Copies of this chain bind each other. A is one copy, B any other.
Amino acid sequence: MEQEPLIPLQGWRRKLYIIIFEADTRAGRNFDIMLLLIIVASVLSVMLESVASIREHYGPQLQLLDVAFALFFTVEYILRLVCVHKPMRYAKSFFGVIDLLAVLPFYIGLFIPGSHFLADIRILRLLRLFRILKLTHYIGEAQQLKRALIASQRKITIFLATVIMLVIILGTLMYLIEGPENGFNSIPHSIYWAIVTLTTVGFGDITPKTPPGQALASVAMIMGYGIIAVPTGIVSAEIAKGGASPQPEVRSGTRLCPHCFSEGHDWDARYCKYCGGRLPRPARGTVS
């Protein structure tokens, strides 16, 4: 819906648009697969460059690759801007921002050494794949997960607020009980320990040494045990609910209103809900 008005109506810009933004033509599909490979290669190259022993041997080659990838993504970004009708709308869209983030770290890295490693944020560009390769089923499922998370948003906010208050109080108590001599250097540091403990991560870089500290930690861990049940319960219940009515939009299928070309009609609708026109009867077997 949001993408259509972006398409230029004719000329080379339209051809470019179809190759770069869509995947229905042979050229478009090839471009997308090439893009996918280049993204993965550029992320791997950034990762390898960060390994000291590899950097020693292949440093210059990897830096050359870095420049090449950055130039490619820059050109691609400019082409994307050029071939759409309303460049600003693309630039401000979700994928437009990610495309920009894929090139920025390289140029920032010219001034601030090290920050070019951030270039592997390019991995986020793979998100576009879901849309490009028409993995509609996956989009449906992702939408369902998203809905489940949004539906339980308030419960999760309450849960997080409770956890934050809990770790502040727990951290303060442990700081007073154990103190800097046992590694609990400050209240923020103790709060970090409380989070490590309540989430059951348990690095073990700071641990209670005194019996009262260990007793309080024991109580905290058993509480954490119970607390871990809450978000799981929330999300389980939401997914179970969502899964019970098998994905409405999939169910409503692909019927187009022949009068106003709107989509998304319920499977039991007889009239278009947007223009009031008579809808065609659903084809047999559409509701699976």
Task: State the Cβ distance, A154 to closest chain B Cβ, in Å.
Answer: 5
Instruction: Indicate which residue in B47, B50, B180, B204 contacts A205 across the interface (CB closer than 8 Å).
Output: B204
Looking at the assembled complex, report how far the CB atom of A59 sits from the nearest CB atom of chain B, in whole angstroms. 13
* Interface residue? A222 (CB, 8 A): yes
**Cβ B200 vs Cβ A203 within 8 A:** no
Known: A168-B123, A199-B224, A226-B156. A117 touches B271 (CB 8 A): no
Residues in B whose Cβ lies below 8 Å from that of A110: none
Q: Is A93 an interface residue (CB 8 A)?
A: no
Q: Which residues of B contact A169 (CB under 8 A)?
A: 120-121, 123-124
**Contact status A199-B200, CB under 8 Å:** yes
Interface status of A274 (Cβ within 8 A of chain B): yes
Please report the total number of A residues contacting B with Cβ < 8 Å. 100
Is there a chain B Cβ closer than 8 Å to A43's Cβ? yes
Name the segment of A13-21, A26-34, A64-72, A138-146 touching the other chain.
A138-146
Q: Chain A interface (Cβ within 8 Å of chain B)?
A: 43, 46-47, 50-52, 114-115, 117-118, 120-121, 123-124, 126-127, 137-138, 141-142, 144-145, 148, 151, 154-161, 163-165, 168-169, 172-173, 175-176, 180, 185-189, 191-192, 195-197, 199-205, 207, 211, 214-215, 217-218, 221-222, 224-226, 228-241, 243-244, 247, 265-266, 268-278
Chain A binding site: helix, strand, loop or mixed by DSSP?
helix
Contacts of A221 in B (CB 8 A): 195-196, 199, 201
Instruction: Establish whether residues B247 and A241, one from each chain, have CB atoms under 8 Å apart when the complex forms.
Output: yes
With the chains together, A276 CA to B278 CA distance in Å? 7
Contact B247–A244 (Cβ < 8 Å): no
- A118–B238 Cα gap in the complex (Å)? 38
Distance (whole angstroms) from the CB of A28 to the closest CB of chain B: 23
Give chain B nearest CB distance to A248 CB in angstroms.
Answer: 9
In the bound complex, residues from chain B placing their C-beta under 8 Å from that of A157 are 138
Q: Across the interface, which residues of B come within 8 angstroms of A234, CB to CB?
A: 229, 239
